[in-house]
Structure formats: structure tokens, C-alpha cells
């Protein structure tokens, strides 16, 4: 499933999840042989409980059964974003500016795919990352995955 397909799936699920009172943080799809996984991240101000995940799972499962946007079998998981919260949107990159993050790009940029540093924001689709005192600009379109690095 492409990033675009994940975004279309998020657009389909977002209204139902928001109606339940939760924020749809993002969606990840992991194809793995015959065992595919669709993971939905949700959040709310007070945090997420197992009961919250169960409510959203029932609602999302019903909607996915009716719309049938994913061909074949898959496991549906609903989760909180956790301490190592994934970043999916421009708003996430703005909200978590100042946080330590790790990013992986789809293809090597200047010989590397993995970056870790302080998120300094996003502007015009360019993520500004401070890596070892140096400014690195990465196009949001080039980023495969981005996560907060928890400060433990």
C-alpha cells in the first residue's frame, strides 16, 4: 500500500474516529507475506486506554468491512502513538518542533537514509533538522518514517 493509499484510508476513517472523540494520528500498513497489518494510531488529550482502542477498532472494522478498501486478509491494530510517537503530517512536524526525532528517507540523501537530531520545524514542505550542529533540510515527500525519540 502506498503512502497515498494510506492517506486516502485515513481520510475515509477520520470522520468516524473523530466522531468518537479521538484524533486520528496516522495509519501504517505493513505487508508481510500472507500476514498483513493495518495499524491505526489514535490519541486524545487525556491519553489512550485499551477500551479506547477497542471502541475505535470496532468502528473502524465495521467501516472497513463495508467499504472494503484493502484486498486480501490483514490484521487490524489500533494503538496510542506512544512515547516514540510517529510523525505523519505537516501539523505533527510543527507541533513537535524542538523535539529529538529520528527519520528515515525512502532513498539515500547525501549517502544516508537515517537521520537523528532536533526537529527545528517545517516550511514549504521542507523539514528542518539539526544534526550534530548542522542544519539538514529534507523534503517531507522524501521521508519514509519519522518518530519522536523519547527523553527517558
Classify burial at 126, counting beta carbons within 10 Å of its beta carbon; exposed 0-12, middle 13-18, buried 19 or more. middle
Q: What's the pLDDT tens digit per position in 106-142?
A: 999 989 999 999 999 999 999 999 999 999 999 999 9
CATH of domain 90-148: 2.30.30.100
pLDDT at 104: 97
- 52 pLDDT band, cuts 50/70/90, is very high
Q: Where in the chain is the domain with CATH 3.30.300.70?
A: 3-79
Q: What's the pLDDT tens digit per position in 91-103?
A: 999 999 999 999 9
Q: For the domain made up of 3-79, give the CATH fold.
A: GMP Synthetase; Chain A, domain 3 (3.30.300)
Q: Where in the chain is the domain with CATH 2.30.30.100?
A: 90-148
d(CA 130, CA 76): 36
Amino acid at each position: 500500500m502506498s503512502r497515498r493509499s494510506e492517506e486516502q484510508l485515513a481520510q475515509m476513517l477520520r470522520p468516524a474516529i473523530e466522531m468518537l472523540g479521538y484524533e486520528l494520528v496516522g495509519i501504517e500498513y505493513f505487508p508481510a507475506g500472507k500476514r498483513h497489518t493495518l495499524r491505526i494510531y489514535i490519541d486524545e488529550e487525556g491519553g489512550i486506554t485499551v477500551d479506547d482502542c477497542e471502541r475505535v477498532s470496532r468502528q473502524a472494522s465495521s467501516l472497513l468491512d463495508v467499504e472494503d478498501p484493502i484486498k486480501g486478509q490483514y490484521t487490524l491494530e489500533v494503538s496510542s502513538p506512544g512515547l516514540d510517537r510517529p510523525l505523519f503530517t505537516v501539523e505533527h512536524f510543527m507541533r513537535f518542533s524542538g523535539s529529538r526525532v529520528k527519520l528515515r528517507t525512502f532513498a539515500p540523501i547525501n549517502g544516508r537514509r537515517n537521520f537523528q537530531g532536533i526537529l527545528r520545524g517545517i516550511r514549504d514542505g521542507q523539514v528542518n533538522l539539526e544534526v550534530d550542529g548542522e542544519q539538514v533540510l529534507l523534503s517531507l515527500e522524501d521521508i519514509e518514517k519519522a518518530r519522536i525519540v523519547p527523553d527517558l
